[in-house]
């Protein structure tokens, strides 16, 4: 076996499961579907786009002639205050409840084709400040979990190319956050230390996967990465949600996020498709017995493992829940660091 090959299991401390690193499979023959490169430049306005300024959405409502961020209630919500009453479960084993909650859409910019990575610094700051405000507002409305995410690119099935994210407010903690909370709580009870602080410390001590460590945020490709070029943006001061961040910390996040996405869009010579998510603690959690054990963070999960080659969640990931990463996280971090930013 080549000494440069990384072929091993790595423990994911947040999800408490193994990730298989199989760098020897990265160059395997591929005759399946390819992901065609997406255009970097596009129209500033699309008369058929229901997210562009001034256009009428399918609900019949007209968008204002907005000039920066525009946030509105989703016209096709997965969760809603007006959801149908839950049906009676057919067996005591089963449970049901109303699909209550709130779903919002947040357009980053009026320009139809401007990616999040292409926003100016002050525009990126507006985005993260809006995330914090939305978190605060929806939490105050009584929802348990605020989850912010962006589906970017055709590979991940984005429904509209106009740059935007979605904000879901749930009456319960979503599964990924619940898993992380249980792991953070267990770690704190065992060590009296924050799991996130210890992850940052481990990444700093190793150094090979570090991408940025300044202005209140630490960015790295995690040792336990499940996706190609995966990144975590973790605050150096633990906070349960972005609503707790200071103006300086939000400014730092905006800068770290812009640089991270710029590197991602250049590392393969074509723009990346990715899922970006903001992980935050649910409102009722707040761990009275372990204050500060959980921290919010921004997670970027790309879906291109090589130029035009998509990372598919196939049988072993979808059916078994066992993730395979076809490259060593250290190699992907090195490639991201080598990107020259203009």
On the 0-12 / 13-18 / 19+ scale of CB atoms within 10 A, 190 is: exposed
Task: Please give the average per-residue pLDDT across 210-232, as a whole number.
Answer: 97
Instruction: Kindly give, in sequence order, each residue whose CB lies less than 8 Å from that of residue 131, ignoring residues fewer than 6 positions away.
Output: 148, 167, 242, 278
Instruction: Convert the pLDDT of each residue in 104-120 to its tens digit.
Output: 999 999 999 999 999 99
User: For the chain, where are the alpha helices, taking DSSP H only?
Assistant: 121-140, 175-191, 195-206, 247-266, 315-318, 329-338
Query: Cα–Cα distance between 208 and 226 in angstroms, integer?
Result: 17
Cβ proximity of 75 and 57 under 8 Å: yes
Percent of the chain having pLDDT more than 70? 92
pTM: 0.95
Kind and range of the H or E element at 274?
strand 274-279
Query: Cα–Cα distance between 103 and 95 in angstroms, integer?
Result: 23
Q: Check whether 52 has a pLDDT greater than 60.
A: yes
Q: How confident is the model at residue 313 (pLDDT cuts 50, 70, 90)?
A: confident
152 vs 41, more confident: 152
Strands lying side by side in the sheet with 17-22: 7-12, 17-22, 323-325
Instruction: Kindly give, in sequence order, each residue whose CB lies less than 8 Å from that of residue 79, ignoring residues fewer than 6 positions away.
Output: 99, 100, 101, 102, 103, 168, 169, 170
Cβ proximity of 296 and 223 under 8 Å: no
Q: For residue 306, what are its two tokens?
A: 């090589």
Query: Cα–Cα distance between 107 and 97 in angstroms, integer?
Result: 31
Closest CA to 336 of 273, 222, 260: 260
pLDDT of residue 31: 47
- Give the number of other CB atoms < 10 A from CB of residue 176: 14
Instruction: Convert the pLDDT of each residue in 259-283 to its tens digit.
Output: 999 999 999 988 889 999 999 999 8
DSSP letter at 19 equals E
Task: Please give the average per-residue pLDDT across 77-101, as a whole number.
Answer: 89
pLDDT of residue 131: 98
Task: Please give the average per-residue pLDDT across 70-81, as a whole number.
Answer: 94
Residues acting as catalytic residues: 164
Q: How confident is the model at residue 198 (pLDDT cuts 50, 70, 90)?
A: very high
Query: Cα–Cα distance between 156 and 149 in angstroms, integer?
Result: 12
Q: Which residues of 262-271 are buried (b: 16+ CB within 10 A; e: fewer)?
A: bbbbbbbebb
Query: Cα–Cα distance between 56 and 134 in angstroms, integer?
Result: 24
Q: How confident is the model at residue 26 (pLDDT cuts 50, 70, 90)?
A: low
Q: For residue 296, what are its two tokens?
A: 């919010």
Kind and range of the H or E element at 210?
strand 210-214
Q: Check whether 182 has a pLDDT greater than 80.
A: yes
Domains and CATH numbers, the chain: 9-23+42-80+97-338 (3.30.428.10)
Q: For residue 240, what are its two tokens?
A: 């349960």
Strand partners, 102: 169
81 vs 27, more confident: 81
Q: Check whether 35 has a pLDDT greater than 70.
A: no
Q: Check whether 285 has a pLDDT greater than 50.
A: yes
């Amino acid at each position: 076996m080549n000494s440069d090959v990384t072929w091993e299991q790595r423990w994911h401390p947040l999800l408490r499961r193994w990730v298989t690193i199989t760098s020897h499979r990265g160059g395997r023959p591929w005759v399946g579907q390819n992901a065609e490169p997406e255009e970097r430049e596009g129209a500033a306005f699309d008369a058929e786009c229901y997210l562009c300024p001034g256009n009428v959405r399918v609900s019949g409502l007209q968008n204002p002639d907005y000039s920066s961020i525009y946030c509105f209630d989703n016209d096709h919500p997965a969760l809603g205050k007006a959801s149908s009453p839950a049906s009676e479960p057919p067996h005591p084993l089963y449970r049901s409840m109303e699909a209550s909650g709130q779903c919002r859409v947040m357009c980053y910019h009026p320009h139809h084709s401007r990616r999040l990575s292409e926003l100016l610094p002050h525009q990126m700051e507006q985005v993260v400040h809006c995330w914090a405000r939305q978190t605060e507002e929806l939490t105050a409305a009584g929802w348990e979990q605020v989850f912010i995410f962006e589906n970017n690119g055709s590979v991940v099935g984005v429904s509209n190319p106009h740059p935007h994210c979605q904000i879901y407010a749930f009456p319960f903690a979503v599964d990924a956050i619940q898993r992380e909370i249980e792991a953070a709580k267990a770690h704190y009870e065992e060590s009296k230390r924050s799991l996130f602080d210890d992850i940052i410390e481990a990444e700093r001590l190793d150094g090979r996967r570090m991408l940025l460590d300044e202005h209140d945020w630490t960015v790295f490709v995690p040792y336990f990465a499940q996706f190609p070029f995966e990144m975590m943006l973790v605050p150096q001061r633990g906070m349960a949600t972005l609503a707790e961040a200071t103006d300086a910390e939000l400014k730092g996040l905006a800068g770290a996020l812009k640089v991270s996405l710029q590197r991602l869009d250049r590392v393969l010579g074509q723009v990346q498709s990715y899922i970006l998510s903001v992980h935050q603690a649910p409102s009722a959690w707040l761990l009275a017995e372990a204050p500060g054990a959980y921290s919010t963070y921004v997670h970027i999960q790309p879906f291109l493992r090589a130029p035009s080659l998509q990372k598919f969640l196939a049988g072993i990931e979808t059916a078994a829940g066992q993730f395979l990463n076809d490259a060593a996280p250290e190699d992907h971090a090195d490639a991201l660091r080598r990107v020259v930013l203009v």
